[in-house]
Amino acid sequence: MNSREIALNIVSRVLDEGAYSNLVLSKELNETNLDDKDRALVTELVYGTIRRKNTLDTIISNFVKDIKLMDKKVLNILRIAIYQMHFLDKVPEFAACNEAVELAKSISEQNGKLVNGILRSYTKNPDDIEVSNGVIDRLAYQYSYEPWFIRMIYKQYGEKDGKRILSGLNQTPKVTVRVNNTKSDFDEVYDRLEEMGYDIEEGYACPEAVIIRGGRSIESNPLFIEGAITVQDESAMLVAPLLDLEENDTVLDLCAAPGGKTTHIAELLEGKGKVYGFDLHENKLSLIKDNAERLGLNNIEIKEMDATKIDSLYVSSADKVLIDVPCSGIGIIRKKPEIKWNKTRKSLKELIPTQREIMENAWQYLKNGGIMIYSTCTLNKEENEDNVEWFVNKHKDAQVEKIFLGSMDNFVYNSDGSLTILPNEYMDGFYIAKIVKK
């Protein structure tokens, strides 16, 4: 199979069967013998097509009577072809067109003709696309989101930050790694990555981060295998240091898998104290275990737990508690663009009771004087500031402590003391609140 066929299979699995883009992509790439250049093309076509689906569908709708009646595979062939023509400079138009026609012909001769006709019509007048005239419709075409999502972001953040969010979530993410200070120091890791031929730069916001702009996959890198580095977004790297960890702290991480923050806490404790990593899904616990073993951390205990149900064993046991609660994931659209299409306004609201139950239980596990960090990878204020406000109003012994991590361009310090991180090319959208038990 060539790279466009593989991309078509993945896009179809994600958009038509609800598969996760990152998982299907890595599985498919592991099973092929494509060279690095073709792997990069598949990755670009998959993420780009999913990310820009709304824009692509608006274009296609200009040339067909009803896009909903089209064969799903043919529609995905068109989406991938038009993505290349509209958004990629490096791919020649004729190559994208010819490949698409051949793929459509393999379904039927008639489909080959249909795809050929649509793509040729598009290339004649690529700038004459008709879009509904409403402001939201224009934005939905320009940035490629569902209209309800744009209305929500604009209502919550206003136009200026709203546009930054819409644009930031469309950025291609860079790979960032966290240096494990218990195994190596920053300069040594940085020098070794450079010697291995990686194109790197120092972290954007975190002192322990290295940004990898180019080079081979990290999972097969000796530094990764020996546990000197771990892959983590810089937004998530900010969380563990905010717990103000002290030497023999007992720390509970209630929604821990795959263990990025759990292992970061253990690293900062330098092998002392105790970190409990809990997760609802037993199959995910092995991810935390594997990460902890690779990083050489033996102060982590891993257990299955439903964070929405209280476990009397841990009441008043923790100096610090981290709850990175299940959320709508809007902040990580850069990495999982299908979130744009598989969430609804209703599905966002349904998460809030679960988030609040976890907050309630975490508070019972915390000792007096302890710190609870509430974090999410969403930008929906109902799951963020509104939950924190609800919680503080309900618990008179809860006080939000002001977070300040320097004046980064994408850090929004909220009036209640919490921090919202706007997405950009370096960081996911994220939210962190630090609550002290008085």
Active site residue 97: no
Q: Which residues contact 142 (CB under 8 A, 6 or more apart)?
A: 55
Q: Which residues contact 378 (CB under 8 A, 6 or more apart)?
A: 327, 328, 329, 330, 331, 384, 429, 431
Has 318 been labeled as part of a binding site? no
Residue count of the chain: 438
Which amino acid is located at 419 in the chain? L
Has 244 been labeled as part of a binding site? no
Among 97, 206, 327, 377, the one annotated catalytic: 377
Which amino acid is located at 292 in the chain? A
- Reading the block at residue 342, the tokens are 């598989």
- Reading the block at residue 355, the tokens are 């988030």
Has 306 been labeled as part of a binding site? yes
* DSSP labels, 200-267: EEE-SS-TTEEEEEESS-STT-HHHHTTSEEE--HHHHTTGGGG---TT-EEEETT-TT-HHHHHHHH
- What's the distance, CA 156 to chain centroid? 20
Which amino acid is located at 231 in the chain? V
Has 255 been labeled as part of a binding site? yes
* DSSP labels, 52-63: THHHHHHHHHTT
Rg (C-alpha) for the chain, rounded Å, is 23
Residue 399, CB half-sphere, CA atoms under 13 Å: how many? 9
Closest by CA position to 218, among listed 234, 203, 230: 230
3-state secondary structure of 185: coil
Is the dihedral angle over the CA atoms 269, 274, 277, 278 positive or is it negative? Answer: negative
3-state secondary structure of 179: strand
Has 258 been labeled as part of a binding site? yes
Question: Please, what is the Cα angle at 338 between 253 and 144, to 5 degrees?
Answer: 125
Has 279 been labeled as part of a binding site? yes
Please identify which residue in the block is written with the tokens 């609804």: 344
Phi/psi of residue 73, nearest 5 degrees: -70, -40
Tell me, what DSSP letter sits at residue 302?
A: E
> Cis (ω within 30 of 0) for the bond into 326?
no
Has 256 been labeled as part of a binding site? yes
Q: Which residues contact 104 (CB under 8 A, 6 or more apart)?
A: 74, 77, 111, 112, 114, 115, 116
3-state secondary structure of 373: strand
Annotated binding-site members for S-adenosyl-L-methionine: 255-261, 279, 306, 324
Q: Which residues define the annotated binding site?
A: 255-261, 279, 306, 324
The catalytic site residues sit at 377
